[in-house]
A and B are shown apart, each in its own frame.
Chain A
Amino acid sequence: MEVSRIRVLFLIVLCSATLPGCAWIGRGGDLPPEPVAPAAQTDEGLGAPETEGPIINPQVERREIKRTRIDTEDFEIGAYVGILSIEDFESNAVYGARLAYHLTEDFFLEGTLGQSRAGRTSYENLSGSADLLEDDDRDYTYYALSMGWNALPGEIFIGKNRAYNSAFYLVAGIGSTRFAGDDRFTVNGGFGFRVLPSDWLAVHFDVRDHVFDIDLLGKKKIVNNLEAHLGLSIFF
């Protein structure tokens, strides 16, 4: 019910936005193009430095400058190792890779790719009968696309002379888990703590919950797979 209501609402918004838009199509072509950037225009049109007299000290000598690009370090790439508890299937080591893009000082986007391996259920151990899963189906891989919020940025102090930037962040997102031979839509959420020993290096401690539906034992149920990992990443 809810889904269809959202669809109707979406369609109404789409229509109301599209219809006036259509009327504009014809006119749009006649409009003069907007200036790309005001700064670029003045650069071309006028001898820019002369017009900006008051700021510049006329005594300054002209030098030939090779303009290097500013090194922007908004991306973060790294790897992590930890423990993943797979519901009904024991806890095991998990390895993963992480790519993050920092949008602002508060928010970041994160993509993670991880793999682990499921153990044996208590049932399999006790009953001694046939295994629930074949060997290949015990491989557990996932990917997640998440949004993060640096909720508590700050500094940590080690001794008297050392301060390192840090942040406690919250993360939530969606993704897919491949386990028991099928891909499953997965919602993940959690928190993490990041310390930067240097401006380009970060050490992470993360706790995540991966939630999905599984009908492996005939009946559908929701599973929560908790993960805790330690990671290292580099800004570039």
Chain B
Amino acid sequence: MSRPPSLVILLVLLFTASAQADDEPRKILIADPFIELHTGPGRGYPIFHVVERGREVYIVKRRTDWFQIRTDRGVEGWAPREQMIATLEPTGEPLDLQEPARENYMSRRWQGGVMAGDFGGASLISAFGGYAFSDNLSIELTVNHILGEFSNGYSATLGLMHVFVPEWRISPYFTLGTGVIYTEPKSTLVQAEDRDDQIGYVGGGLQFYLTRRFMLRSEYRNNVIFTSRDDNEEVDEWKYLGFAFFF
């Protein structure tokens, strides 16, 4: 039981090491009349330094929409994305921040996120990841944690997802797939046993492009659980709200 904390410490040390081993920072040219450096990566932090046009500065790192800049005199401060767009590469080309925006929303390939909802009356926590073959069609892996009053369970499904009009900001989709579900009755119940069953589903939902690389999603699935009993079981699955990002 004492293993997980030591593992975490090890991980933290590992990341410390990688955080130290930085590449040489990227050099850029200021093209705006001036850019303002804030003391922290946020709009409220005071401006303490100004770098004027034509000066070369280094981008040390980026956090959300803020860039840490180091001037040739060694002053370090944070500048917002809106000002960075107007800077140039040393070659004279505009700085390409290479970030997903509405324009390349269409060319997204990988997507992941979490959703929450209801699985036949039980609470549902769901994580998913997907890869898009084309603008419309993608394959998606979903892992569910089902937390009910009488039983808990996990399910993992693999399915196809078809987005009808991907260029719309709010666009509906259709999904179809199969997987496995593991059900574990609560320990307070007597005479109950764990079960492994196959599951198939058909469903639909909506995805809403929020901003930058983020999307909201809402989904319904009609599940059929192929039980070992005489009758199959049908379960409605509602994922009321989910958060997704693409890259």
Interface residues, chain A, with chain B CB atoms under 8 Å away: 3, 6-7, 10-11, 13-14, 17-18, 21-22, 24-25, 28, 34-39, 48-49, 52, 55-57, 60, 62-63, 65, 67-74, 77-79, 95, 97, 102-105, 109, 113, 115, 137, 139, 145, 150, 153-155, 163, 165, 174-176, 180-185, 199-200, 213, 215-216, 232-236
Known: A70-B97, A71-B62. A95 touches B91 (CB 8 A): no
Interface string of B111-141 (1 = CB under 8 A from A): 0001010100011010000000000100000
Cross-interface CB contact of A36 among B15, B107, B214, cutoff 8 Å: B107
Shortest CB-to-CB span from B20 to chain A, Å, is: 9
Cross-interface CB contact of A21 among B59, B61, B172, B205, cutoff 8 Å: B172
In the complex, chain A residues whose CB is within 8 Å of the CB of B41? 105, 165
Known: A68-B24, A155-B45. A234 touches B19 (CB 8 A): yes
Range of interface residues on chain B? 35 or more
Alpha-carbon distance A3/B19, docked complex (angstroms)? 47
Alpha-carbon distance A14/B239, docked complex (angstroms)? 13
Contact B88 A55 (CB under 8 A): yes
In the complex, chain B residues whose CB is within 8 Å of the CB of A233? 12
Contact B59 A70 (CB under 8 A): yes
Interface residues, chain B, with chain A CB atoms under 8 Å away: 1, 4-5, 8-9, 11-12, 15-16, 18-19, 22-27, 31, 39-45, 54, 59-68, 88-94, 96-97, 103-104, 106-107, 114, 116, 118, 122-123, 125, 136, 145, 147, 149, 152, 164-165, 167-168, 170-172, 174, 186-188, 204-206, 214, 218, 220, 238, 240, 243
Contact A182 B63 (CB under 8 A): no
Cross-interface CB contact of A165 among B16, B40, B170, B187, cutoff 8 Å: B40
Alpha-carbon distance A115/B136, docked complex (angstroms)? 42
Query: What residue of chain B has the Cβ atom nearest to residue A200's Cβ?
Result: B19
In the complex, chain A residues whose CB is within 8 Å of the CB of B123? 174, 185
Q: Known A-B contacts: A35-B103, A71-B22, A234-B12. Give 12 more (CB < 8 A).
A: A3-B118, A10-B220, A24-B164, A36-B106, A55-B92, A65-B90, A70-B67, A72-B61, A137-B187, A145-B114, A174-B116, A199-B61
Alpha-carbon distance A167/B102, docked complex (angstroms)? 30
Query: What residue of chain A has the Cβ atom nearest to residue B63's Cβ?
Result: A73
In the complex, chain B residues whose CB is within 8 Å of the CB of A176? 125, 145, 147
Known: A14-B206, A70-B26. A77 touches B63 (CB 8 A): no
Contact B92 A49 (CB under 8 A): yes
Shortest CB-to-CB span from B75 to chain A, Å, is: 14
Alpha-carbon distance A165/B41, docked complex (angstroms)? 9
Cross-interface CB contact of B218 among A10, A73, A103, cutoff 8 Å: A10
How many A-B pairs fall under 8 Å by CB?
184
Alpha-carbon distance A233/B240, docked complex (angstroms)? 32
Contact B43 A34 (CB under 8 A): no
Show 19 A/B contacts (Cβ-Cβ < 8 Å), sorted by A: A10-B218, A10-B238, A14-B204, A18-B174, A34-B167, A62-B91, A63-B90, A67-B26, A72-B61, A74-B63, A77-B15, A79-B8, A79-B9, A97-B8, A137-B187, A145-B114, A176-B125, A180-B187, A233-B12
Alpha-carbon distance A128/B243, docked complex (angstroms)? 50
Give 10 nearest A-B pairs by CB, closest first. Answer: A185-B147, A21-B164, A185-B123, A181-B187, A165-B40, A79-B8, A18-B172, A71-B61, A56-B92, A97-B8
In the complex, chain A residues whose CB is within 8 Å of the CB of B118? 3
In the complex, chain A residues whose CB is within 8 Å of the CB of B94? 39
Contact B23 A183 (CB under 8 A): no
Alpha-carbon distance A21/B67, docked complex (angstroms)? 40
Shortest CB-to-CB span from B152 to chain A, Å, is: 4
Query: What residue of chain B has the Cβ atom nearest to residue A215's Cβ?
Result: B188
Shortest CB-to-CB span from B218 to chain A, Å, is: 7
Alpha-carbon distance A79/B118, docked complex (angstroms)? 31
Shortest CB-to-CB span from B118 to chain A, Å, is: 7
